[in-house]
Amino acid sequence: MKKYLVIGNPIEHSLSPLVHNFWFRKYNLSDSNYEKRKIERIDLKNIVDQVRNKKIEGVNITVPFKKEIIPFLDSLKGDAQLTLSVNTLCKNNNEVIGFNTDTKGFKNSLKNEKIDYKNKNILIIGAGGVSSSILAAFVKSAKKIYITNRTRKKADELKKLGEVSLTLLGRKKEIIEVVDWGKTVEICDIIVNTTSIGLLKGENLNLDFKKYNNVNSLFYDLIYNPKETNFLKEAKLRGNKIMNGKMMFLWQAQIAFQMWTGVEASIDKELIKLLEV
């Protein structure tokens, strides 16, 4: 049996097993199985060792270990290097390698909706665990990226990380600007909520988006359960476009699945419906 895992803490709510086991069945990979496991920080080394020994074929990592796993890995590839956030482990030539499929998953979700995110003004709300993956999606081509976070210091750190990418790309550091929490900026084309506000019913960001009335901007919330946070409900009432994080979640899984199995799994209606539980 080939074993796959998603590790995190908490982990009960993870829908990753549902998705990957759906694909294992669909593509007749009956010798493969995907489970969720709640772990503690102390277990990280052991998990990586098990990937190295082929006891585990592949691992997804979720909150709060996407950064903490890094010291135990042999190397990081692609967006994992730029974001310092690892959500997927693979073994390659005896090395356990950390990948980040969140950034590409996010970009795919936009491309799939034919949303042009190049040369646009972007506002990233939050500077937590997932924010660097969103920032990485925009550094290459955004006109301007504003970051705002309740705790300014974390936004400053995220900006510094983004500046490394901008420098590598030969772009100006000034493209990223940190804005104090609650302060408004020029109208942006895409506004992404990367905070955890909205996970609980009734929670509200309390940011002022009045000037977006009837503006054709996209309000994107990475949260997909609940389906429509207040952030999205209010955007809809203002006449803005909205998206939740469901398709990003599915795309990040699709990319990891292909890395592990070589199968380019499809995100079909049946799968999308399966997540509506």
Gap between the Cα atoms of 88 and 25, Å rounded: 21
Q: How far is the CB of 63 from ligand ATR (least distance, A)?
A: 5
Lookup result for tokens 């929670």: 203
By C-beta, is 223 or 256 nearer to ligand ATR? 223
Q: Which residue is catalytic, options 66, 91, 120, 144?
A: 66
* Candidate ranges 12-20, 38-46, 107-115, 126-134; the one touching ligand ATR (CB under 6 A): 126-134
Q: How far is the CB of 120 from ligand ATR (least distance, A)?
A: 22
* Binding footprint of ligand ATR, residue count (CB under 6 A): 14
- Contact between 179 and ligand ATR by CB under 6 A: the answer reads no
Among 87, 100, 195, 217, binds ligand ATR (CB under 6 A): 195
User: Strands across the sheet with 32-38, in order?
Assistant: 32-38, 2-8, 58-61, 88-92, 95-99, 75-76
Q: How far is the CB of 91 from ligand ATR (least distance, A)?
A: 26
211 flagged as catalytic:
no
- Contact between 64 and ligand ATR by CB under 6 A: the answer reads yes
Gap between the Cα atoms of 227 and 12, Å rounded: 18
By C-beta, is 130 or 188 nearer to ligand ATR? 130
Helix or strand holding residue 218 (H, E): strand 218-221
- β-pair partners for 37: 7
Tell me whether residue 183 is exposed, middle or buried, using C-beta atoms within 10 angstroms of its C-beta: 0 to 12, 13 to 18, 19 or more. exposed
- Contact between 151 and ligand ATR by CB under 6 A: the answer reads yes
The angle at the Cα of 72, spanning 258 to 29, to the nearest 5 degrees, equals: 25
Q: Which residues bind ligand ATR (CB under 6 A)?
A: 63-64, 126-130, 149-151, 154, 195-197
Q: Show which residues are catalytic.
A: 66
